[in-house]
Amino acid sequence: AATTAPAPQNAEVEVFGHRGASGYRPEHTLASYELAARMGADHIEPDLVPTKDGVLVARHEPEISGTTDVAAHPEFAARKTTKVVDGTEMTGWFTEDFTLAELKTLRAEERIPEIRPHNTVHDGLYEVPTFQEVLDLRARLSEELGRDIGVAPETKHPSYFRKLGLPLEPRLVAALERNDLNDEDAAVAVQSFEVGNLEELDERLQVRLVQLISSSGAPQDFVEAGDPRTYADMVKPEGLAEIATYADVIGPDTKVILPVDEDDHLTEPTTVVADAHAAGLEVVPYTVRAENTFLPADFRSSEDPAQWGDVLGFFDVLYDQGVDGIFSD
Ligand code: G3P
Ligand code: CA
């Protein structure tokens, strides 16, 4: 398919395989990460949460009923519970209630089978990987493919896990140091929505740090501290200058750059990309997905939510904004 020429500063847009190649394999499995690397992604993106015994594993959230077969395990039926995670009530099973050995008896499943039915043929095949296993895969594939496959771990719910006595920061730092990846030349970019988490990591890590920015609301640590700043404040020039004191990159929702109206059609772009560049920050928006249901209305091909729309057209509009990278499934 035709693509327009990218803006000059985006001649080499970095591609982050979001949860691996999650459009093609169940998310956060070694198979998903490996396929992303083989498809040409520059980086693979594991979200990180801890087990009961403190091991970092790759899941998007601690509650695992949507991405594993835990509900089919009678031995774990009594562990089903309801918790509030960052203000959201969740019912199911939580990684922090399972040892790694127990978690390893589960198998991954496709999160959105109604949108990605082709991925369900892989249900039941893959384990929940540890962060170490992701780093081992990264090393093996870098050697085999002859290029340094980047890894972009995201610390999920750091305030929540700190309160449970399972802080993510020391475990992440230890893992990167154990693998000789705490180095400014390492192909590592650590992401978080929480500011305090990144500020702490800035003290201890040499790698790139990514401030994730949602299209609404505020960082959870700000909410809990009564800090009135919102994500909308953070993308104003003063907010971006503040981010540049501890991070290198912003990872905004695409809507922060390309807002949509109530019918999901694109409206006037914001100045966030240019403002971030002026503050010395790179810009890597999340998440471009090909299916109609995830695209702005301008790029949909039909009413069918699972059918692909003009995803290359959406990439082009983002490239024309001058983004430095893209998180994509
Ligand atoms: O890390 C970028 C993007 O992954 C943040 O959103 O919810 O997919 O982890 P999420
Ligand atoms: Ca993520």
**Is the residue at 107 inside a domain?**
no
Provide the pLDDT for residue 280.
Answer: 98
Q: Give a yes or no: residue 227 inside a domain.
A: yes
Mean pLDDT in the chain? 96
Are 220 and 194 within 8 A, CB to CB? yes
Least distant ligand from the CA of 328:
1
More confident residue, 8 or 11: 11
| Both structure tokens of 134 | 């992701």
Please report whether residue 44 resides in a domain: yes
pLDDT confidence bin for 30, thresholds 50/70/90: very high
Ligand 1 pocket, residues with Cβ under 6 angstroms: 18, 45, 47, 60, 154, 191, 212, 251, 286-287, 327
The domain containing residue 38 runs over which residues?
Answer: 8-61+129-328
CA angle 327, 129, 102 (to 5 degrees): 140
pLDDT of 12 = 80
Nearest protein CA to atom 5 of ligand 1, as residue: 286
Of 136, 190, 167, residue with least CA distance to 50: 167
**What CATH number does residue 248 fall under?**
3.20.20.190
How far away, in angstroms, is 286 Cα from ligand 1 center? 7
- pLDDT tens readout for residues 46-56: 999 999 999 99
Residue minimizing CA distance to atom 6 of ligand 1:
286
The closest residue, in CA terms, to atom 2 on ligand 1 is 286
Q: Is residue 29 part of a domain?
A: yes
Report yes or no on 86 lying in a domain: no
Q: What is the pLDDT of residues 288-297, one digit of tens each?
A: 999 999 999 9
- How many domains does one find in the chain? 1
> What are the structure tokens assigned to 107, written together?
């198998």
Phi-psi region of 264 (alpha: psi -120 to 50; beta: other; left: phi over 0): left
Indicate whether 4 pLDDT > 90.
no
* Residue of 191, 64, 58, 67 whose CA lies nearest to 130: 58
Starting from the CA of residue 253, give the closest ligand: 1
CA angle 120, 252, 245 (to 5 degrees): 135
For 93-144, how does the pLDDT look when each residue is reduced to its tens digit (9 = 90+)? 999 999 999 999 999 999 999 999 999 999 999 999 999 999 999 999 999 9
Neighbours of 10 (CB within 10 A): 20
pLDDT of residue 1: 32
Q: Is residue 82 part of a domain?
A: no
Q: Given a cut of 80, is residue 322 above it in pLDDT?
A: yes
Question: What percent of the chain stands above pLDDT 90?
Answer: 96
- Asked if residue 5 has pLDDT above 60, the reply is no
Strands (E), 106-230: 150-151, 154-155, 189-192, 208-213
Report how far ligand 2's centroid is from the alpha carbon of 155 (Å): 8
Q: Quick one: which atom of ligand 1 is closest to the CA of 287? A: 3
Amino acid occupying residue 159 = S
Which residue's structure tokens are 């809507």? 255
Please indicate, yes or no, if residue 70 is contained in any of the structural domains.
no
Give the residue, out of 286, 289, 323, with the most ligand 1 atoms within 8 A of its beta carbon, to mutate for a pocket test: 286
Per-position DSSP letters for 130-148, written without gaps between them: BHHHHHHHHHHHHHHHTS-
Q: So what's the ipTM on this one? A: 0.98
Is 213 a member of any domain?
yes
Strands (E) in the chain, as ranges, are: 14-18, 43-45, 47-50, 56-58, 81-85, 88-92, 150-151, 154-155, 189-192, 208-213, 249-252, 282-283, 325-328
pLDDT at 87 exceeding the cut of 60 = yes
**pLDDT digits 0-9 by tens, 247-290:** 999 999 999 999 999 999 999 999 999 999 999 999 999 999 99
pLDDT at 36 over 90: yes
Q: Taking residues 79-104, what's their average pLDDT?
A: 98
What's the 74 CA to ligand 2 centre distance in angstroms? 30
Structure tokens at 113: 């089978």
pLDDT higher than 80, residue 75:
yes
Q: 154 alpha carbon to ligand 1 midpoint, in Å?
A: 8
